[in-house]
Structure formats: structure tokens, C-alpha cells
Amino acid sequence: MIVKLFSAFFATLFFSIIFNISKYELIYCGISGFLGWLSYLLTFNLTSSVVFAAFIGALMISLYSRLLAKIRKTPVTIFSISGMIPLVPGAGMYKTVYYIIEEDYALSTHYGIESLQIAGAIAIAIILVSSFSLFQFKRS
């Protein structure tokens, strides 16, 4: 598990370079991926639900990105988009189409629906956090 967490850190960090994120923010992007994957794995071990685990992971990343965006004075997206990379259903999308080519429609549907659920869960987590902090911002 520790190996997986540190791999998530480095995977996120190097993916941020592909996204051309400024070099001063790279390390924070890595931490974002680390935190997201940590909460994902913990939730997955507790509930064994991929979708719920992705939701919690995305929630953590969004909160962390909000906080860091305030401190580092950069857009939230920089930290959230990179941190989400291990969570987002890229492999799921691939498997969906792969099994269509394989003519295994049952597996394809399974992965397709799962990918949409994960994407939906992550999107809801992002929107949830952004609407909450909008509320806080207006009150203060």
C-alpha cells in the first residue's frame, strides 16, 4: 500500500509536467494525488465500493485544492485536475471500448456504466466543494 501511495504521488507529479503546470506547483500537485489516492484506498477497503471511494477521494482533493489555491494564489484547477488523475476512469473508458471490439458486451456495459458512475461521483464532489466555498466566501 505504501508503494502504491508513493507511486500515486510520483505518477501525479509527472503527469503534471505533461499538463505543463508551473514547476513551483509540481510538488503540491503530487501531494494532491497522494492524498486523493490515500482516501480512495482507505474508503475502498472499508466499503469495497469503487464509486464511493472515488467520491471521497475527489472530495478530499477538492478541499485540499481549495485550501492550497488560497495559499498559493493560483486557480483551484491546477491542483484538482492533477490530483484527480489516478481517480478518473481513464482505464475504464478504455476497457469499455476494448470489450466492444472484443464483442464482450456484458463486460463492456459493466465498465461503461462504472466509468460514468465514477465520473459522476467525482463531478458531484467537485461541484459540492465549489458551491460550499462560494457560500463561505459570500458570508465573510
Among the listed ranges 44-52, 59-67, 71-79, 132-140, the one in contact with another protein (CB under 8 A) is 71-79
Among 4, 42, 52, 133, binds another protein (CB under 8 A): 4
Residue tagged 482507505 (cell numbers): 42
| 31's grid cell | 501531494
Residue 73 Cβ vs another protein, minimum distance, rounded to whole Å: 8
* Three-state secondary structure readout of the chain: CHHHHHHHHHHHHHHHHHCCCCCCCHHHHHHHHHHHHHHHHHHHHHHCCHHHHHHHHHHHHHHHHHHHHHHHCCCHHHHHHHHCCCCCCHHHHHHHHHHHHCCCHHHHHHHHHHHHHHHHHHHHHHHHHHHHHHHHHHHC
**In the set 67, 113, 124, 134, which binds another protein (CB under 8 A)?**
124
Of residues 8-67, those binding another protein (CB under 8 A): 8, 10-11, 14-22, 37
**Which residues have a Cβ under 8 Å from the Cβ of 100 and sit 6 or more positions away?**
108
Give residues 91-120 in contact with another protein (rule: CB under 8 A).
91, 93-94, 96-98, 100-102, 115-116, 119-120
Candidate list 53, 68, 122, 129; residue touching another protein; CB under 8 A: 122
Q: Tell me which of 47, 127, 132, 134 binds another protein, using CB under 8 A.
A: 127
In the complex, the residues that contact another protein under the rule CB under 8 A are: 3-4, 7-8, 10-11, 14-22, 37, 73-75, 77-78, 81, 84-91, 93-94, 96-98, 100-102, 115-116, 119-120, 122-124, 126-127
